[in-house]
A and B are shown apart, each in its own frame.
Chain A
Amino acid sequence: MTQPTVGTVRTQSFTFAHPPHPMTLDSGVGLGPVSLAYETCGELNADRSNAVLVCHALTGDAHVAGYHAGDDRPGWWEHYVGPGKPIDTDRYFVICSNVIGSCMGSCGPSSINPATGRYWGLDFPIVTIPDMVRAQRELVRHLGIDHLLAVTGGSLGGMQTLQWAAAYPDMMDGILALATTSRHSAQAIAFNEVARQSIMSDPNWKNGDYYDGVRPDLGLAVARMIGHITYLSDESMHVKFGRELRGGQFAFNFEGDFQVESYLHHQGKKFVERFDANAFLYVTKAADYFDLDLANPDSPARRALATTKARFLLASFTSDWLYPTYQSRQVVDILKALGRDVSFCEITAPWGHDAFLLPDQRLETVIRGFLGGLHGC
């Protein structure tokens, strides 16, 4: 059966903060011009009240749903975004943009520095999740939208979602944050640091100045393999691979006997074809810096959340050990204490952190119901 889809979509570009008016980043450095790759699907209604901003995860892109012309691979959240789907493009105008610092069309270390005409490399300033969200705010303004129906996303996208609520508490009716956290844990930082070290110790990395030569593919592939382990779970690995051998028996060498090894090799290899090593350093750093400091009664984020009228829904997954349930619960508990309208559901799923990307009947129902409930009666 053919699944409904938004059909062919096109990536668009928006540039702002032209010199001499750069965007000031959290680091204090000015960045400009800032360009964002974005896609939209569905129609903005007459009173511009049906926009849903979707925020992508660590290495995602603006291509949330539908197909690019001549490409048979759908967007990364095709299962959840489309006509009649939980984020129903017959009802909602969906916006998704690539985060700054990434390499999927928005400005980042692999784009050209207009001041020099050369690749930015490590001259690109460090960006934070609040910086990413500030850039998205400019895009939303550019699209003529003053108020969003909802902001949603999983993982790093969930962090952006929470940041949206903290930065612009009056700008949305709903915040739907999946498999995420309000502060990156030491464990999550540790995995990111190992991944970064893998890239930086690749001799081809050359302090990030590799764009004219051989790229640090090996380092980036290993970084991806490490990341990928944290997206799965003990159970899902057991179910998918167990101790299965590729050749049916031990080869007595180091070429990857086990299916799980070959799977990780494949993931690493596939990844270097689409992602930039420097960008990986930047987006992981942004995740590591993320901390809304909600336990602190005087933190700006907590003060902002205390005033918002938005409804919140946080969903975690039982087998997610990268951003475990207790991290979503911490946000829920703060929102409870602040008297906000908050819902929470821990969804049983064996797939680990990746669960928010995979088809799940309960997640479908939760997303559809939450968005539907935002209209009131």
Chain B
Amino acid sequence: MAAEHCTDSGHDLRFDLRIVASWIEPGSRVLDLGCADGKLLRFLRDTKGVQGLGIEHDEDEVVSCVAQGLSVIHGDINTELPGFPDKAFDYVVVSQTLQQAYEPTGLLHQMLRVGRRGIVSFPNFCCLQVRLQMAFSGHVPVTPELPYQWYNTPNIRVLSLEDFKTYSRAVPFAITRSLAVNPASDGSAREVRFWPNLLASYGIFMITAA
């Protein structure tokens, strides 16, 4: 039954989502904020028996999640979280979505209220490629991780890996795990250990309440 729901979909998982997935314990409860077409939730369900829920504002993406048998609420990540009870989830994932939050601090507080852990991933706005574009082209940077023009970007804020660490002390919250990476051409990611804030285009953090 429902064989179309059960295929291993890991190979077409975006590089950052593969890392996020590898951090999640089997059998846990996961809330994915801005889950898009549900690739992460489906992978987690099919390979780790995860009980997932997505929040997604785009109607067609919502329909495509339901089509895969996933649970999803058609709504706005900025307003959906207060309705969940405390610690309803083991992980709350915000993948490439924090840049789109109206009130990131409120969102983070809510994430760490409804979830035991948060996983946040975002493109690093201070990687070398961005810095060089700013310095030499005189234009707002456009990169594979930040592919938009200033007039059509959904990212209403940009940040660097260091900014996120500074921010963790201000909110405060604890960073319990982090990984700085560059996407590789085969769809995987290469870890950047040396000067990550300059040399990594992408950061993934696991956070908990301070």
Q: Do A and B bind each other?
A: yes
Give chain A's interface residues, CB within 8 Å of chain B.
91, 311, 313, 332-333, 336-337, 339, 341-348, 362, 365-366, 368-370, 372-377
Within 8 A of A (CB), among B40-61: 45-46, 51, 53, 59-60
Given contacts A344-B75, A362-B59, A365-B63, contact A373 B84 (CB under 8 A): no
What is the interface of chain A mostly: helix, strand, loop, or mixed?
A: mixed
Complex: chain A residue closest to B70, CB-CB? A373
* B93: interface (CB < 8 Å): no
- Interface pair A345/B68, CB less than 8 Å apart: no
CB-CB under 8 A from B65, the residues of chain A are: 343
Give chain B's interface residues, CB within 8 Å of chain A.
1-2, 4-6, 45-46, 51, 53, 59-60, 62-75, 83-85, 88
A93 CB to closest chain B CB (Å) equals 14
Complex alpha-carbon distance, A336 and B64, angstroms = 21
CB-CB under 8 A from A348, the residues of chain B are: 59
Given contacts A339-B85, A372-B69, contact A347 B75 (CB under 8 A): no
- Interface pair A369/B68, CB less than 8 Å apart: yes
- Interface pair B5/A373, CB less than 8 Å apart: yes
User: Out of A336, A347, A372, which one reaches B59, CB within 8 Å?
Assistant: A347
Given contacts A369-B66, A370-B69, A377-B46, 4 further A-B contacts (CB under 8 A): A339-B85, A339-B88, A345-B66, A368-B67
Complex: chain B residue closest to A318, CB-CB? B59
11 interchain pairs, CB-CB under 8 A: A337-B84, A342-B71, A342-B73, A343-B72, A345-B74, A365-B67, A366-B67, A369-B68, A372-B5, A372-B69, A373-B69
CB-CB under 8 A from B68, the residues of chain A are: 369, 373
Complex alpha-carbon distance, A191 and B67, angstroms = 36
Complex alpha-carbon distance, A374 and B4, angstroms = 13
CB-CB under 8 A from A311, the residues of chain B are: 71
- Interface pair A369/B69, CB less than 8 Å apart: yes
- Interface pair B66/A366, CB less than 8 Å apart: yes
- Interface pair A362/B74, CB less than 8 Å apart: no
- Interface pair B83/A370, CB less than 8 Å apart: no
- Interface pair B6/A377, CB less than 8 Å apart: yes
CB-CB under 8 A from B69, the residues of chain A are: 369-370, 372-374
Complex alpha-carbon distance, A376 and B73, angstroms = 19
CB-CB under 8 A from A337, the residues of chain B are: 83-85
Complex alpha-carbon distance, A366 and B72, angstroms = 11
CB-CB under 8 A from B6, the residues of chain A are: 377
Complex alpha-carbon distance, A313 and B73, angstroms = 9
CB-CB under 8 A from A336, the residues of chain B are: 73, 83-84
B3 CB to closest chain A CB (Å) equals 9
CB-CB under 8 A from A339, the residues of chain B are: 84-85, 88
Complex alpha-carbon distance, A332 and B79, angstroms = 14
B137 CB to closest chain A CB (Å) equals 40
- Interface pair A369/B83, CB less than 8 Å apart: no
